[in-house]
Amino acid sequence: MSNVLPGAMLVLLFAAPLHAQATRLTGRDCGLEKEVACRRVLVTEPTWAIRAASWGDEAAAEYNSDLNFMASFGVVAPVARRIGIGALATVGLGSDDGPYLGAGPRLRWHAGSRVAVDLTPTLLLLRPQEQGWGLLDAAVMYRDRVGLAFQVSPFDREVYDYSDPENTTVTNSRSTALFAGLRLGMKPGRIGLVADAVLTVAAVVYAVVTCAGGGCS
């Protein structure tokens, strides 16, 4: 609970003023009439990413997840010309490290009428033992519907050296992984989230049926 409380307070801090501020801004204020920069936006974003690079201890880095899947939910509202601020909750799954849950502020800069750059530092409230407490997410979105997303996260692992059969050594090592991939937003994002949910349920059902039939060992 002590880890969850700071994240919840962080989300409330950024989310509380969004409604009032958004209603005060008009298309003329933000300079991008009838575009997403001028209105409060509900965030529904699935992200599918692969590990693009790792650095740090090589022995630890090779165990980092090859795939990272994320689903983010929240709200972003305009607070100044071309600038939006919001709050997001994120659930994710590393292919080798397991699930995580986080929350954090979203800063959005509208580079033009159709292109936006998002930055989301995320505090991981629930996480695998090997993953660090933070995740930095960045994305470039086109019309808030499709874009490229990047995540950076640290990992701490115990690396075992079996080179000496009589004296196995254990080293605490740190590495950092960079993931890059596709992100969808707005209506495409909602469709993507539904597709993810259907595939997840199908995978669980398949695993249960396979194991019930004696296919698991």
The angle subtended at Cα 28 by Cα 27 and Cα 29, nearest 5°, is 90
Q: What is the pLDDT of residue 21?
A: 44
- Residues near 201 by beta carbon (within 8 Å), at least 6 away in sequence: none
Residue with tokens 């701490």, as numbered in its chain: 156
Instruction: Centre a 10 Å sphere on the Cβ of residue 168 and count the other Cβ atoms it contains.
Output: 10
Q: What is the pLDDT of residue 120?
A: 97
Q: What is the pLDDT of residue 113?
A: 83
pLDDT tens, 146-189? 999 999 998 877 666 666 677 766 667 778 889 999 999 988 88
Q: What is the pLDDT of residue 85?
A: 95
- Give the fold, CATH level 3, of 4-185: Porin (2.40.160)
Closest residue by Cα to residue 94 from 133, 66, 59? 66
Q: What is the spatial distance between Cα 90 and Cα 103, in angstroms, rounded to a whole number?
A: 6
Can you read off the two tokens belonging to residue 17? 């003023």
Nearest-10 Cα torsion for 68, 124, 207, 201: -90
Can you read off the two tokens belonging to residue 144? 């808030």
In the chain (217 residues long), the average pLDDT of successive 10-residue segments reads 45 44 48 61 93 75 79 93 93 87 96 93 90 92 94 80 68 84 92 85 77 67
Q: What is the pLDDT of residue 16?
A: 43
Q: pTM higher than 0.85, yes or no?
A: no
Per-domain residue ranges of the chain: 4-185
Q: What is the pLDDT of residue 100?
A: 92
Q: What is the spatial distance between Cα 92 and Cα 140, in angstroms, rounded to a whole number?
A: 19
- Side-chain half-sphere CA neighbours of 101 within 13 A: 6
Which own/partner pairs from 53-58 qualify as long-range (CB within 8 Å, at least 24 positions apart)?
53/177, 53/178, 54/175, 54/176, 54/177, 54/178, 55/175, 55/176, 56/154, 56/173, 56/174, 56/175, 56/176, 57/159, 57/173, 57/174, 57/175, 58/175
Q: What is the pLDDT of residue 45?
A: 95
Q: What is the pLDDT of residue 106?
A: 97
